[in-house]
Amino acid sequence: MTEPQLVAPVPVRRHMRSAISLKGLRSEVQRADGVNAKIAVFLTNLVGSMWCAYAFAALALVGLPAALKPGGEGIIAWIAQTFLQLVLLSVIMVGQNVQSDASDARAQRTYDDTVAILDRLDVHTAGGIKDLSDKLDEIVATLRSQHA
């Protein structure tokens, strides 16, 4: 019998590639029910990609020269209203996707470890508590036979 092995933790960077790309977008959209749900899934995945963050950054930079004109308040408004809102929206969504994927992987690993531990504790599984139970039964039988 091969013993189940406990597995090492999952690094977050392992899930970065899937969280920042648009691969699999078509299959996610097809799984959604209804036109509104399909549009919502499409837009959420599109806006929650690093490519969209780069596009928003480029768009925000187009408005930078107008914000740099004399007056002083233009650059503050540009940073707060344009750059931060546009770019950070996508970056935050990507970060949440990465954290979610890593959390799902950690939950799966925890489940797998729990199954391995429960398997070792199972009374009916060879190599676990069953071996101890059988040994105790032998000792009890030997002690009974010696006292009888």
Q: Which of 89, 142, 128 is nearest to 3 (CA)?
A: 128
The domain of 38 spans: 12-110
Give 10's pLDDT tier (boundaries 50, 70, 90): low
In a domain? residue 43? yes
- Determine, yes or no, domain membership for 48: yes
pLDDT reading at 139 higher than 90: yes
Measured CA to CA, the distance from residue 48 to residue 57 in angstroms comes to 14
Q: Considering the domain boundaries, does residue 24 fall inside one?
A: yes
SS3 category, 22: coil
- Residue 110 confidence (pLDDT): 92
Query: Is 76 among the domain residues?
Result: yes
Query: What pLDDT band is residue 45 in, cutting at 50, 70 and 90?
Result: confident
Encode pLDDT of 75-100 as tens digits.
Answer: 888 888 888 888 888 888 888 888 88
Torsion of CA 16, 20, 24, 28, to 10 degrees: 100
In the prediction, which pLDDT does 51 show?
A: 87
Residue 95 near residue 9 (C-beta atoms within 8 A):
no
Contact 10, 105 (CB under 8 A): yes
Q: Average per-residue pLDDT in the chain?
A: 79
CB 41 within 8 A of CB 28: yes
Total domains, the chain: 1
Q: Would you say residue 136 lies in a domain? A: no
Taking only the tens place, the pLDDT of each residue in 21-37 is 566 777 778 887 888 88
Return all residues near 76 (Cβ < 8 A) that are at least 6 apart.
Answer: none
